[in-house]
């Protein structure tokens, strides 16, 4: 593997929300992250009057000098499982 995946999770919630439901969302995210070996390293929590919003950004951390560029790099649309 060329890099170590990291995730940032942002969640927007209505002012009145069920705390148990939100805990269940994070429990599910943490279970999936552990299964696919991705560390959730941060994110944001905010209000969203329109409902629940979840945004996940995935980043790859690569040791200095180990990044793959040019022809050796994966092509657009490549899936990593």
Instruction: With 0.95 as the threshold, say if the pTM is over it.
Output: no
- pLDDT score at 1: 46
Name which of 19, 5, 20 is nearest 56 in CA terms: 5
Checking if the pLDDT of 80 tops 70, the result is: no
Question: Which tokens hold the place of 57?
Answer: 């950004």
Q: What is the pLDDT of residues 10-61, one digit of tens each?
A: 999 999 999 999 999 999 999 999 999 999 999 999 999 999 999 999 988 8
- pLDDT score at 81: 62
């Amino acid at each position: 593997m060329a890099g170590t995946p990291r995730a940032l999770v942002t969640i927007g919630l209505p002012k009145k929300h069920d705390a148990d439901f939100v805990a269940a969302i994070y429990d599910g995210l943490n279970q999936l992250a552990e299964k696919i070996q991705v560390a959730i390293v941060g994110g944001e929590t905010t209000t969203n009057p329109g409902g629940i919003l979840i945004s996940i950004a995935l980043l790859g951390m690569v040791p200095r000098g180990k990044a793959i560029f040019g022809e050796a790099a994966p092509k657009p649309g490549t899936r990593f499982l």
